[in-house]
Amino acid sequence: MAEDVKKCMVSLAEYISKIADEIDPESVNRFLKILTAALANKRKILVVGAGRSGLVARAFAMRLMHLGFNVYVVGETITPSIGEGDVLIAVSGSGSTQVVISVASAAKSIKATVVAITSFEDSPLAKISDHVVKIPGRTKVATETDYFARQVLGLYEPIAPLGTLFEDAALLFFDGVIVALMNILGLEEKDLKEKHANVEFV
């Protein structure tokens, strides 16, 4: 019950703390440079993801908007076409989500810069991307169903189901990127509040 909730929260926090050290700093620095160059050159940034990864991508897009980026979510009715020099950020833990790959392929054919946020550097999405940021995370249910076989094979699964670890880690990674961008751009929280929605549902 309540203890299970606490156990899960602690498990997730410990996991994310551990993988923060595993994310390649150079890939993060290049990602930041791609984003700041897009802002400086007034290029569009589009984000795409399916399911919960899509929700994480949308949350990142909202924060980029607060920072003054020209950012859109793929699939929304007001999202414009992507062009050469624009940036597509594709979020997929497995890197095999077909709809995300299709969008990335289309963007690539128009010579947009495609950035993959994924757990698998050898995935179809990663292979067609210009840049990859690897976020470690369990993205699939284990195919080995026997508990003891998993122990022998060293398949120690975390407490969170399905792709939760990737999505949680990606969300916090993007929050970290926003803080880094604030520092680079010399912005403070008050600057973000100026672009925060002031017409909302009550």
Catalytic center residues? 167
Q: Encode the chain in three state secondary structure.
A: CHHHHHHHHHHHHHHHHHHHCCCCHHHHHHHHHHHHHHHHCCCCEEEEECHHHHHHHHHHHHHHHHCCCCEEECCCCCCCCCCCCCEEEEECCCCCCHHHHHHHHHHHHCCCEEEEEECCCCCHHHHHCCEEEECCCCCCCCCCCCHHHHHHHCCCCCCCCCCHHHHHHHHHHHHHHHHHHHHHHCCCHHHHHCCCCCCCCC
Cβ 100 vs Cβ 106: under 8 Å: no
